[in-house]
Amino acid sequence: MTSYIKIDQPEIIALLFPPQNRDLTPSPANAEDVSFETDTGISLNCRFYFSDLEAPTIFFFPSTSESVSSFDAVAEKYLQQGMNIFLASYRGCHENSGTASVSAMYADSEKLFHLATAWLKDKGYKGHLFVMGQSLGSVCAIDLVVNNNDLVKGLIIESGICDTAGFLEAIGADLRANDISEEEGFNNIEKIEKIKNPTLIFHGARDALVAIAEAENLQASSGARTKQFFVIPGAEHHSVSETGGDLYTKTIKQFTDTVCGVNTWRQKRRSHKRNEKR
């Protein structure tokens, strides 16, 4: 098991998991709140946005600046495209108990995924599973798919992290007395090389935390035979989906349809014929 002792320092953790004092607001009509215990006394509050029992489900690890409640408007766009989305959360963040750390984040994400997928199955959801990660959430997503590739249909990355030390310095960490090798860090490049699942990567053209060249390196290193890479003009590290707008979620829908073997042209034709008969 990898030790993250060099990253799990108070001054670095404070930057990776900034305090967000937001209470959990009531879930919208098309969502359900669910809490999972990932460790003794540690519960993670998550929100599941549902479209259809047969629809694909995006298991989403967000940026640590994103709260469960603030994601509601974003989730609506996924629902409009016929996708379910399960929003994960992190220990010690927002409404969750415990103390945040990278070690705990990795351990919790693995347990949360299995608890949540069992919960979805019990609820009758049958669609394929996709794992998605945004910013710091990308390290959870990549690690999870490496270890559970047989359970996941595809991987989606937004503002993914490539170089650990470079990202930590970009968010303000002082590493002069604490040299961190990639093997002691997130190690996303080595991990994504092992992933054969279809992969979709988005990155902002104006990302000041992770350069486009690093995102290109992540894409080039991907072991997937089927992979796509999109640079969103004008987007910064935390504004990719907002700047991309409807085209962003439509691209994700096209990706899931293609991977799942859905013939969207044929479906639209059938739907049109049904409407003509009414």
Percentage helix, strand, coil, to 5, in the chain? 40, 20, 40
Contact 97, 43 (CB under 8 A): yes
Helix (H, G, I), strand (E, B) or coil at 219: helix
- The CA–CA distances, whole Å, from 92 to 7, 44, 64 equal 16, 9, 11
Rg value, the chain, Cα:
19
Distance of alpha carbon 185 from alpha carbon 209, whole angstroms:
16
**What is the per-residue pLDDT for 21?**
57
Label residue 187 left, alpha or beta by phi (over 0 means left) and psi (-120 to 50 means alpha). left
Contact 46, 86 (CB under 8 A): yes
**What is the per-residue pLDDT for 276?**
55
- Buried residues in 3-13 as b, exposed as e (16+ CB within 10 A): ebebbbbeebb
First to last CA, the chain: 60
**What is the per-residue pLDDT for 273?**
52
Q: Which two tokens stand for residue 10?
A: 């108070």
pLDDT in tens, the chain (278 residues): 467 999 999 999 999 998 765 566 788 889 999 999 999 889 999 999 999 999 999 999 999 887 777 788 899 999 999 999 999 999 988 778 889 999 999 999 999 999 999 999 999 999 999 999 999 999 999 999 999 999 999 999 999 999 999 999 999 999 987 889 999 999 999 999 999 999 999 999 999 999 999 999 999 999 999 999 999 999 999 999 999 999 999 999 999 999 999 865 555 555 445 445 54
**What is the per-residue pLDDT for 70?**
77
Strand partners for 84: 57
**What is the per-residue pLDDT for 94?**
73
Distance of alpha carbon 20 from alpha carbon 10, whole angstroms:
16
**Domains within the chain, CATH numbers bracketed:** 10-277 (3.40.50.1820)
**What is the per-residue pLDDT for 278?**
45
**What is the per-residue pLDDT for 262?**
85
**What is the per-residue pLDDT for 268?**
53
Distance of alpha carbon 79 from alpha carbon 89, whole angstroms:
20
Q: Which parts of 125-187 fold into alpha helices (H)?
A: 137-147, 164-170
